[in-house]
Amino acid sequence: MSSIRKYESKDKENLRKICIETSGLSTETEKDREFLYLMYNDYYSEIEPENVFVAVNDNDEAVGYILCAEDFDKYLAVFKKSYLPGIKKLGFRYYTMAIGEIGVHRLFSKKYKAHLHIDILSECQGKGTGTALMNELKAHLKNKGINSLMLSCGMGNKKAINFYKKNNFKLHRNIMGSCIMISEF
């Protein structure tokens, strides 16, 4: 298993690479990739780096990450101001994907304020790295007085859904092709 540490600014490009390599979405065009950075990566590493943990290999290079926004209202305000305009410029299709995803999170954000994203390079999966990252984030949030986490996951991503269930997430709701999963700890 890789070791876990806090995010450092030198990890930013590796995080972007992991985001692209593990995305189930299209990554063919520059616009596709820019969308993924803006939607699933840059907010977390730039605005809440203290809530990001990485799994690193023997060369201290990130091979996986867990990203968290601890308060949805803060996330939404900053995301709308600094990241959504960039997504809008990419085109209507990207904009509607972003609005859909935010809208789904927003439905549950009054009760579950913190949300996460987790991705591990394929060659490093199935070795306990995801579980170690999840445990690290939960312990970190608990220290800050935060006791729940929400995420959305594609309904077809059975491997990830099983992983979340093993990590004490419960299926809360199926909505617009996504599973909303919640963990209280």
Ligand X SMILES: CC(C)(COP(=O)(O)OP(=O)(O)OC[C@H]1O[C@@H](n2cnc3c(N)ncnc32)[C@H](O)[C@@H]1OP(=O)(O)O)[C@@H](O)C(=O)NCCC(=O)NCCS
- Residues forming the site for ligand X (CB under 6 A): 1, 22, 118-120, 125-131, 153, 157, 159-160, 162-163, 166
Pick between residue 147 and residue 162 the one whose CB is nearest to ligand X.
162
Least distance between ligand X and beta carbon 54 (Å):
13
> What region does 8 belong to: left with phi over 0, alpha with psi -120 to 50, or beta?
beta
Pick between residue 16 and residue 88 the one whose CB is nearest to ligand X.
16
Pick between residue 2 and residue 109 the one whose CB is nearest to ligand X.
2
* Residue closest to ligand X (Cβ): 130
Pick between residue 82 and residue 161 the one whose CB is nearest to ligand X.
161
How far apart, in whole angstroms, are the C-alpha atoms of residue 69 and residue 63?
A: 20
Burial-class residue 17 by CB neighbours within 10 Å (0-12, 13-18, 19+).
middle
Least distance between ligand X and beta carbon 85 (Å):
25
* DSSP state letter for 78: H
Least distance between ligand X and beta carbon 37 (Å):
16
Cα 98 to Cα 88, 121, 124, 154, distances in angstroms? 9, 24, 29, 14
Least distance between ligand X and beta carbon 147 (Å):
21
Least distance between ligand X and beta carbon 89 (Å):
26
Pick between residue 89 and residue 170 the one whose CB is nearest to ligand X.
170
Burial-class residue 97 by CB neighbours within 10 Å (0-12, 13-18, 19+).
middle
